[in-house]
């Protein structure tokens, strides 16, 4: 049994890795594959960051964690709140390992804010509004961390609108900022590795996701052998350079640090071409399944102007205005990010709605939702069937082919005590190559059901989006040399526990990847959940201020998710 190091590559994909290995540009990844095990790591359905990472580190499906997208409904309301550690269920693997006296270090994993106590160090990921005092445990490590990584930021903070309007070279400046953030992430990981001989180290590099969202189309053209222009080649090389930088660090630093431990590379999802964003709620409204509030209403117009003005101001200016406004209704509305997501929906006339990307649809249920319209299982199934019929007719205007390739009911995807919070239906739009729009105000303003990001963001618009097929690479003293085919996201946690010589939680859904392990297949048995004394859980109402919620909203907008 040996120690374990996990390097997470957000959006890491074999599409790029295999191509670059073929071009002899990733020598260290090539050696890793030759000496270890490989699998296609399937993401959650849909393949979204919060669901995938939480399923990895809790070993549980979203029906147990409550995490699907970046937002979730507050119980008994139509308000959305950001997904974070305060409203997540399930015990992270680092808490279980720490309870058995294993020293752990966790860096930049999504849905870990606020940082909860661990037997070691935890630095929160992208759901932290900033690197504040709740984003690190223990707090006394903050000053020394910032001394080592003085330019540390939770997110890249790229403002595409500002670059397009003010930069003479928006693409070049965007690439430079992404590269700078990647190097900062690597320095942070290296600093944390040097602090201690950790039993379990988990560090996530989010940069591949950022590069690929913007420059995927260009990289794909090169990979498939299409002719590219000089500008397209530069954009593709930005993606390839990200992987090369990680490969260099693997060869120069991480391989040596992991010489006597098991090293795991994994991703939360893969990547592929983004064909279009889709106004799903507009389709539902045209079919009479959803209703929007009157577009000319005074309240909506006032809120729309507030949001437009808010987007143009700095955080400091917004905070000053809030102090001037006080805590009245206008001040609350000023800092509410919820309006742009669901406030245009007339819930009293809505049976089903699409919330967030990748086609998550929620019924408006009587007895659960304040203005619920759908009563009983028979009516529930009837509305879902009607929704399937409506969305089956949705066709892409470019090729005339159906957009939706598969419908999932929630009972086909999830199980657990939080089933009532799961989307009632998830629609797979041609292998996830379309995304649902996450803002009803945008849906109402768009001229077409289909929306290209290039219309708004031009050369910095998203051309890539998530796929199910992620990566899993393992090498070390307890790892076989094997191609183990396909693994599930929930399989990684019990496999890590086996490598650490610890029993998995009985509550987990995943299985140990026995074919990858060169050790006793029987291993330690699973153990009752209550047998572990895990770290404390922060209550949800202690997590975000209104300013924090606005910072999260702005970050997700800059990342192209809103």
Give me the DSSP letters along 321-335.
HHHHHTTSHHHHHHT
Residue 39 clears pLDDT 60, i.e. is over it:
yes
Q: Give the closest residue to 526 by CA, choosing from 516, 546, 511.
A: 511
CA nearest neighbour of 135 among 561, 552, 424: 552
In the chain, domain spans: 4-274+466-531, 276-292+344-461
Question: Residue 555 and residue 562: Cα distance in Å, rounded?
Answer: 9
State the pLDDT confidence band at 294, using cuts at 50, 70 and 90: confident
pLDDT of residue 301: 39
Interatomic CA distance for residues 312 and 315, integer angstroms: 10
Q: Where are the beta strands (DSSP E) in 80-119?
A: 80-82, 104-109
Q: What is the pLDDT of residue 539?
A: 53
Instruction: Answer yes or no: is pLDDT of 547 > 90.
Output: no
pLDDT at 535: 46
Please provide the DSSP assignment of 200-220 as one string: EEEEEE-HHHHHHHHHHHHHH
First to last CA, the chain: 44
**Chain Cα centroid distance, residue 300:** 30
> Taking 80 as the threshold, does the pLDDT of residue 173 lie above it?
yes
pLDDT tens, residue by residue, 12-33: 999 999 999 999 999 999 999 9
Question: How far is it, in rounded angstroms, from Cα 421 to Cα 329?
Answer: 29
Domain 276-292+344-461 has CATH 2.50.20: no
pLDDT above 50 for 315: no
Q: Is residue 70's pLDDT more than 70?
A: yes
Q: How far is CA 14 from CA 10, 17, 361, 443, 473, in A?
A: 13, 5, 30, 34, 10
- Assess whether pLDDT exceeds 90 at residue 364: yes
Describe the strand order of the beta sheet including 450-451 as a list of residue ranges. 434-436, 276-278, 450-451
Tell me: pLDDT of 451 over 70. yes
Residues 487-540 have pLDDT tens digits of 999 999 999 999 999 998 888 999 999 999 976 545 555 665 544 444 445 555
Angstrom distance (rounded) from CA 496 to CA 75 = 34
- Dig out the tokens for 418 from the structure: 């939080």
- What pLDDT score does 505 carry? 87
* pLDDT value of residue 123: 98
- Whole-angstrom CA distances from 404 to 396, 432, 444 are 10, 9, 22
Residue 170 has pLDDT above 90, yes or no: yes
Instruction: Tokens for 435, please give them.
Output: 């995304």
Residue entry with tokens 């180290």: 201
Whose structure tokens read 């010589």? 501
Specify whether the backbone of 402 is left (phi greater than 0), alpha (psi in -120 to 50) or beta: beta
SS3 137: strand
| Angle (deg, nearest 10), helices 27-35 and 14-22 | 110
What does DSSP say about strands 360-363 and 425-428: parallel, antiparallel, or unpaired? antiparallel
- H-state helical runs in 117-206: 142-148, 160-166, 170-195
- pLDDT (mean) for 252-266: 96
pLDDT at 98 over 70: yes
- What average pLDDT score do residues 130-144 get? 96
More confident call, 135 vs 319: 135
Q: Do domains 4-274+466-531 and 276-292+344-461 have the same CATH topology?
A: no
pLDDT of residue 523: 58
* Helix ranges restricted to H, 352-448: 376-392, 410-413, 440-445
Average pLDDT, the chain: 87
pLDDT over 80 at 446, yes or no? yes
pLDDT number for residue 460:
87
Classify domain 4-274+466-531 by CATH number.
Answer: 3.40.720.10
SS3 of 510, please?
Answer: coil
% the chain with pLDDT above 70: 83
Q: What is the pLDDT of residue 62?
A: 97
The pLDDT value recorded for residue 159 is 80
Average pLDDT, stretch 476-481?
A: 95
- Residue 306 reports pLDDT greater than 70: no
Q: At residue 339, what are phi and psi to the nearest 5 degrees? A: -55, -45
> What is the structure's pLDDT at 342?
83
- Cβ-based neighbours of 146, under 8 Å, separated by 6 or more: 131, 152
Least confident of 228-237, 275-284, 296-305: 296-305
The pLDDT of residue 320 is above 90: no
What CA dihedral angle connects 524, 525, 529 and 534, to 10 degrees?
0
Residue 452: C-alpha distances to residues 159, 178, 208, 397, 433 (Å): 18, 23, 22, 12, 12
């Amino acid at each position: 049994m040996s120690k374990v190091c996990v390097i997470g590559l957000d959006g890491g994909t074999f599409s790029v890795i295999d191509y670059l290995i073929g071009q002899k540009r990733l020598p260290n990844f090539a050696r890793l594959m030759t000496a270890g095990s490989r699998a296609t790591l399937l993401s959650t359905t849909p393949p979204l960051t919060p669901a995938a990472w939480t399923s990895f580190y809790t070993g549980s499906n979203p029906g147990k964690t409550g995490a699907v997208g970046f937002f979730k409904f507050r119980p008994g309301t139509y308000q959305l709140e950001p997904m974070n550690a305060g409203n997540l269920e399930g015990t992270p693997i680092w808490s279980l390992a720490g309870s058995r006296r294993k020293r752990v270090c966790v860096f930049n994993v999504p849905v870990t804010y606020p940082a909860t106590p661990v037997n070691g160090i935890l630095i929160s990921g992208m759901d932290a509004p900033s690197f504040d005092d709740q984003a690190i445990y223990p707090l006394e490590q903050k000053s020394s961390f910032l001394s080592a990584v003085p330019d540390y930021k939770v997110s890249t903070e790229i403002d595409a609108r500002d670059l397009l309007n003010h930069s003479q070279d928006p693409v070049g400046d965007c690439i430079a900022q992404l590269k700078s953030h990647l190097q900062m992430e690597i320095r942070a990981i290296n600093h944390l590795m040097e602090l201690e001989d950790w039993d379990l180290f988990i560090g996530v590099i989010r940069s591949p996701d950022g590069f690929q969202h913007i420059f995927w189309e260009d990289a794909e053209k090169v990979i498939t052998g299409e002719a590219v222009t000089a500008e397209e080649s530069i954009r593709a090389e930005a993606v390839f350079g990200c992987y090369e930088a990680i490969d260099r660090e693997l060869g120069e630093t991480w391989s040596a640090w992991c010489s006597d431990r098991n090293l795991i590379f994994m991703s939360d999802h893969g990547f592929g071409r983004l064909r279009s964003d889709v106004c799903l709620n507009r389709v539902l409204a045209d079919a009479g399944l959803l209703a929007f509030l009157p577009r000319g209403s005074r309240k909506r117009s006032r809120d729309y102007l507030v949001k437009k003005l808010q987007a143009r101001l700095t955080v400091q200016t917004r905070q000053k205005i809030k102090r001037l406004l006080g805590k009245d209704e206008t001040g609350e509305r000023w800092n509410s990010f919820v309006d742009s997501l669901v406030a245009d929906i007339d819930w009293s006339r809505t049976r089903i709605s699409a919330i967030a990307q990748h086609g998550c649809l929620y019924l408006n249920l009587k007895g659960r939702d304040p203005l619920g319209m759908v009563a009983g299982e028979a009516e529930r199934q009837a509305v879902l069937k009607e929704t399937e019929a409506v969305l089956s007719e949705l066709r892409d205007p470019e090729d005339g082919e159906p957009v939706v390739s598969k419908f999932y009911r929630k009972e086909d995807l999830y199980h657990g005590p939080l089933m009532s919070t799961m989307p009632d239906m998830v629609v797979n739009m041609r292998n996830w190559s379309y995304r649902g729009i996450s803002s009803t105000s945008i849906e109402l303003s768009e001229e077409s059901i289909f929306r290209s990001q290039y219309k708004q963001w031009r050369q910095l618009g998203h051309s890539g989006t998530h796929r199910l097929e992620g990566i899993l690479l393992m090498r070390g003293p307890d790892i076989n040399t094997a191609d183990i085919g396909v693994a599930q996201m929930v399989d990684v946690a019990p496999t890590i526990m086996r490598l650490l010589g610890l029993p998995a939680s009985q509550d987990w859904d995943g299985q140990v990847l026995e074919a990858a392990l060169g050790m006793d297949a029987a291993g330690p048995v699973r153990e009752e959940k209550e047998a572990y004394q895990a770290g404390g859980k922060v209550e949800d109402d202690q997590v975000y201020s209104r300013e924090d919620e606005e910072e999260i909203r702005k970050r997700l907008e800059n990342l192209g998710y809103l």
